[in-house]
Amino acid sequence: MFSAGLVNDPFGDPGAYIEFSFRREAVLFDLGDIHFVPPRKLLKVNAIFISHTHMDHFIGFDHFLRLCLGREKKIQLFGPPGFNGNVLGKISSYTWNLIENYTNNLDIYVNEVNENKKETYRYRLQNGFRPESVGQAEIRDGILLEGEFFDVKGISLDHKIPCLAFALEEKDRVNIKKTGLLEMDLPTGQWLLELKRKILGNEPNDTPVRIWSRKKGSDFEEERSLGELKEKLVIISPGEKISYVTDVLYNKENCRRIIDFVRGSEVLFIEATFLDEDSRRAQEQNHLTARQAGDIARRAGVKRIVLFHFSPKYQKCGNMLEEEALKAFKGEH
Ligand SMILES: [Zn+2]
Ligand SMILES: [Zn+2]
């Protein structure tokens, strides 16, 4: 249903890109250097979650904004307390008199996340990117963004400043049985997406579903009940979870919170900035060592880890960070 990968190599700026198959939709975790991400992939992004605004996590904002300028787009940004000030600072560092000539709508929503509240601001190109206050809302169950097929949750961790970690949780997976379609003599097509939507929205079984196809000039149209289609056509399986944790101090409280938050993830993106022999330095700079990252992942029962944010000091021996983390992940130390 989706693919997830790092934006750069593990020594580059942190960031993960998650793309949904068959949909023009993608999500970014962190917004560091994104020059290596092809523009067509960046243009699919409509939500960006920024852990904190240290430069290596936010320098890509200008690049992204420039790419979007002439496009019809609505973008949601999420960041920690003070985030709107950072965005405002970036936007007000440019002169915008020429955007009067643009006819497209580019709306940027900035969501400042503070514990279980979010404060939202809007910057509209058509309004000269002047900040507008949208209001405050409560965050329930940590859900920052509720999508049709997934939710993105966030928690605040200690990096000597608040730093957010994120988890994308896919809703149930609705798979269509090809044999079912053949047996019922029904076409494939757009209507299947509508069917999935109705199932994920828990609509009642007697809801009518319009089945249609315009393929090869032979129009097909009929109606069946949601209940019948569910029974004969559909396999529902639980969705997957992808988590992203970076720039955190190794302490008891952070560990407890991370383990709770990322538990059961299919993939955990986690920083592994230093080797354990440099754990003092890691502590001073509020980062995890590879061993700590592997250990956290093992205790949280995640299936797979992807490591990043390697310190440049290990440029020639990145494999040592990988090996150390994997050893801890397998419980071999
Ligand atoms: Zn960082
Ligand atoms: Zn940082």
Rounded Cα distance between 251 and 134, Å, is: 36
| Ligand 1: centre distance to CA 124 (Å) | 29
Instruction: Write down the pLDDT at residue 216.
Output: 59
| Ligand 2: centre distance to CA 50 (Å) | 11
Rounded Cα distance between 267 and 280, Å, is: 28
Burial of 138 (0-12, 13-18, 19+ CB in 10 A): exposed
> Taking Cα atoms as reference points, which of 63, 55, 68 lies closest to residue 14?
55
| Ligand 1: centre distance to CA 283 (Å) | 14
Instruction: Write down the pLDDT at residue 100.
Output: 80
| Ligand 1: centre distance to CA 54 (Å) | 6
Ligand closest in space to the Cα of 57: 1
Ligand closest in space to the Cα of 248: 2
| Ligand 2: centre distance to CA 249 (Å) | 10
Tens of pLDDT, residue by residue over 68-97, are 999 999 999 999 999 999 999 999 999 998
Tens of pLDDT, residue by residue over 4-20, are 999 999 999 999 999 98
| Ligand 1: centre distance to CA 309 (Å) | 7
Which amino acid, residue 58?
A: F
Which chain residues have CB less than 5 Å from ligand 1, an ion? 56, 247
**Number of other CB atoms surrounding residue 302 within 10 Å:** 22
| Ligand 2: centre distance to CA 312 (Å) | 15
| Ligand 2: centre distance to CA 217 (Å) | 57
| Ligand 2: centre distance to CA 278 (Å) | 17
| Ligand 1: centre distance to CA 14 (Å) | 7
Mean pLDDT for the stretch of residues 258-274:
98
| Ligand 2: centre distance to CA 236 (Å) | 40
| Ligand 2: centre distance to CA 52 (Å) | 7
| Ligand 2: centre distance to CA 267 (Å) | 22
Instruction: Write down the pLDDT at residue 18.
Output: 97
Which amino acid, residue 271?
A: E
Mean pLDDT for the stretch of residues 100-121:
95
Contact between residue 245 and residue 157 where contact means Cβ atoms under 8 Å apart = yes
Ligand closest in space to the Cα of 12: 1
Q: What is the mean pLDDT of the chain?
A: 94
The phi, psi pair for 133, rounded to 5°, reads -85, 130
| Ligand 1: centre distance to CA 53 (Å) | 9
Rounded Cα distance between 295 and 208, Å, is: 50
Mean pLDDT for the stretch of residues 188-193:
88
| Ligand 1: centre distance to CA 289 (Å) | 13
Mean pLDDT for the stretch of residues 147-175:
94
Ligand closest in space to the Cα of 56: 1
| Ligand 1: centre distance to CA 322 (Å) | 18
Ligand closest in space to the Cα of 271: 1
Ligand closest in space to the Cα of 309: 1
Mean pLDDT for the stretch of residues 176-181:
92
